[in-house]
Amino acid sequence: DAGVIQSPRHEVTEMGQEVTLRCKPISGHNSLFWYRQTMMRGLELLIYFNNNVPIDDSGMPEDRFSAKMPNASFSTLKIQPSEPRDSAVYFCASTPGGSMNTEAFFGQGTRLTVV
Amino acid sequence: GNSVTQMEGPVTLSEEAFLTINCTYTATGYPSLFWYVQYPGEGLQLLLKATKADDKGSNKGFEATYRKETTSFHLEKGSVQVSDSAVYFCALSPPNTGNQFYFGTGTSLTVIP
């Protein structure tokens, strides 16, 4: 398997524009996580899905952020409108889910810069 | 609740020095414990894990032992190399939570020749 695939790897956009980040989890994994990493706050969990259903979105910073998982092989994180303080590296991760405490597999991240 | 506290960085060591990065946790039930490593410009990758008390996880010369009595999972390596320079994250996953993870803040390690 190619692992968790995120796109794009880098995104530079102007303040106010809509940004969509994409993630393809590992085939067969039931849980998907979106994280944001900044120097100031470290690694923050934004939202996670189990079997395509959002389970906990309490980490989503505000209404400008939304995430969807229309099927088991694809998820998006959208920011509309974007602001400079959204600049960060966004990671997607997936796990097999269920009761087994297996590792989380991370994508390489999307580095977002909002100018 | 569930949380992880790890040693503040950055840590700078000379090559072949001994490394310890402290990690303590608070959890409901008996979680699985993990150390992840992040090399520059990359995502996190699993370094080692332990799923029950007294288990020792090991990989690439790194070790960590699941200590239930002290709620700790300290990372150690006897002789670090320049290639070990990275950010290290301690994490826990409580049982029966669908693999939800709680990460520490990360500890940056720089090894100088």
Rounded to whole angstroms, the Cα distance separating A106 from A32 reads 10
B72: DSSP letter: B
- Cα torsion B81, B86, B87, B91: sign: negative
The residues in A 14-53 lying below 8 A from B, measured between CB atoms, are: 30-31, 33, 42-43, 45, 48, 50
Per-residue pLDDT of A56-92, as tens digits, reads: 898 998 899 999 999 999 999 999 999 999 999 999 9
How far, rounded to the nearest angstrom, does the alpha carbon of residue A62 sit from its chain's CA centroid?
Answer: 15
Which residues of chain B have a CB within 8 Å of the CB of A48? 98, 100
Rounded to whole angstroms, the Cα distance separating A87 from A114 reads 6
Here the contacts of A56-64 (C-beta below 8 Å, separation 24 or greater) are A56/B100
The residue-averaged pLDDT of A15-36 equals: 96
Rounded to whole angstroms, the Cα distance separating B81 from A95 reads 31
Say if CB B64 and CB B73 are below 8 A apart.
Answer: yes
- Report the percentage of chain A scoring pLDDT > 70: 96
Residue of B84, B9, B86 whose CA lies nearest to B42: B86
| Structure tokens given for A90 | 């966004």
Position with higher pLDDT, B34 vs B96: B34
A44: how many CB neighbours lie within 10 A of its CB? 15
Position A89 scores a pLDDT of 96
Residue written as tokens 């790890």?
A: B6
Kindly list the residues of chain B whose beta carbon comes within 8 Å of any beta carbon in chain A: 31-32, 34, 36, 42-46, 49, 51, 89, 93, 95-96, 98-101, 103-106
Per-residue pLDDT of B64-82, as tens digits, reads: 999 999 999 999 999 999 9
B103 and A48 within 8 Å at the Cβ level: the answer is no
A88 at interface of B, judged by CB pairs closer than 8 A: no
Rounded to whole angstroms, the Cα distance separating A9 from B58 reads 31
| Structure tokens given for A62 | 């505000």
Per-residue pLDDT of B35-57, as tens digits, reads: 999 998 889 999 999 999 999 99
Residue A47 reports pLDDT greater than 70 = yes
- Cα torsion A85, B88, B1, A100: sign: positive
Residue A96 reports pLDDT greater than 90 = no
Residue B97 reports pLDDT greater than 70 = no
Residue of A35, A100, A106, A93 whose CA lies nearest to B31: A100
